[in-house]
Amino acid sequence: MDSGTKFRIALYLLCFVLLSYFAYLTYGLVKSLEITPVYVVLSIFVLALFLYAYTKLYLIVANGIDNIRIRNERFKGESRRVEEFLQKNVDVMNLEELRETLVPFERTLLLERTQRKYGTQLNERLAHAKQVFNLKLHRNELDQLNRKKDLLEYEILEAEKKRNRVEQSEERRLEAIKANLHIPEHDVYLLDDLNPDAIKILKAERYRQSNEYDILREEIVTALIRPINQHSNTHTFLVWSTIRYLENTGEYETIREHRTVDADITFKYLGKTYALEIETGNLLSKQKQLKEKINYLHKRYRNRWMFIVSNKDLVSKYRAYGLSTHRKGMEENLQKLLSAIHPQKSGGKHPNTTRNNKKKSRE
């Protein structure tokens, strides 16, 4: 039985004694005095007053006892918690254990009695525990940052590996496309025959895009051109276009391109060698070289050569030095040249054959 229960029993006994004594006094008064209404009312009032005073006193004393009991229990609980905390080695606790240990002391104000008993020692241990907690918290944050850093470095490394694999795969793919282009063998590519990757590769190889007249297709086409021997795009393309025309007819043999002092193009027809010199107008300003070229052509090919001029306005100037034709009239004038050397073989065979091949080329 606790002290609070014992105190309540004592109050009940006191109340019984007082009531008994009050009843005894009342009985004595009743016997000695004459009972009147005033006396009865006064007796009831006094009894009620006594009961009210007793009830208030009982509640005050009971509440005081409960408060004392609660504070004692709280003091015991706080003392137990403080003792347990003081016995713990906070240096070996992990971050979560430290947080669980410190939170009750931060959220609850200790009783003054507890503070008097453990004040200095508790405050020192709490300060040390908070210092350890902050240190481990910072270390934990640093570890998290290091893990994030390691993860990012790993992801970057993996991304670089993936990019390298993609680049290597792309390089191999582009190398295969480049190999299929056979770049050393070609100075001209028609843009219509190329995909975007091939165009990119050729431009990286210093091919230049240009719109030129194609003798075989008889129209302006877009091409990628790699100029040779400091010649212009037009000169290089016209040499290529003329050779393509000659090969397409199927009537000429030993068609060759020369990058020396010889004519730009030579071919054989019926056992005789013919020469075609491609001109864009540059040689007109170099009279000495022009005369040396003409003398070489006359000496080597006699009357079996002619100029093919890209600019029709310059055809008349070249005719002063030899047979000349604009590129659009090349087929007709070539037939005239061949007919002059082989009148019995011309007949009109070449024009028909060429026209048929041109239709096939467009298709």
pLDDT value at position 5?
64
Which region among 51-55, 134-138, 208-212, 258-262 has the lowest average model confidence (pLDDT)?
Answer: 51-55
Q: Note the pLDDT tens digit of each residue in 244-264.
A: 999 998 889 999 999 877 899
pLDDT for the residue 206: 92
Is residue 40 predicted with pLDDT exceeding 50? yes
CATH 3.40.1350 residue spans of the chain: 230-362
Of the candidate ranges 101-110, 307-316, 331-340, 342-351, the one whose mean pLDDT is the lowest = 342-351
pLDDT at 207: 94
In this predicted model, what pLDDT tens digit does every residue of 132-165 receive, in sequence order?
A: 888 888 988 899 999 999 999 999 999 998 888 8
- C-alpha to C-alpha distance for 238 and 255, rounded to whole angstroms: 15
Q: Which residues, in sequence order, are CB contacts of 195 under 8 Å at separation 6+?
A: 177
Question: What was the pLDDT predicted at 348?
Answer: 43
Residues 6 or more apart whose Cβ sits within 8 Å of residue 327:
213, 215, 238, 241, 308, 309, 310
CATH T-level assignment (fold) for domain 230-362: Trna Endonuclease; Chain: A, domain 1 (3.40.1350)
The confidence band for 39, taking pLDDT boundaries of 50, 70 and 90, is low
Q: Is the pLDDT of residue 89 over 80?
A: yes
Provide the pairing of β-strand 324-326 with 305-309.
parallel
pLDDT, average across residues 327-351: 78
Query: Is the confidence at residue 320, as pLDDT, over 60?
Result: yes
pLDDT score recorded for residue 192 = 92
- Expressed in angstroms, the distance from the first to the final Cα of the chain is 118
Output the average pLDDT for the chain: 82
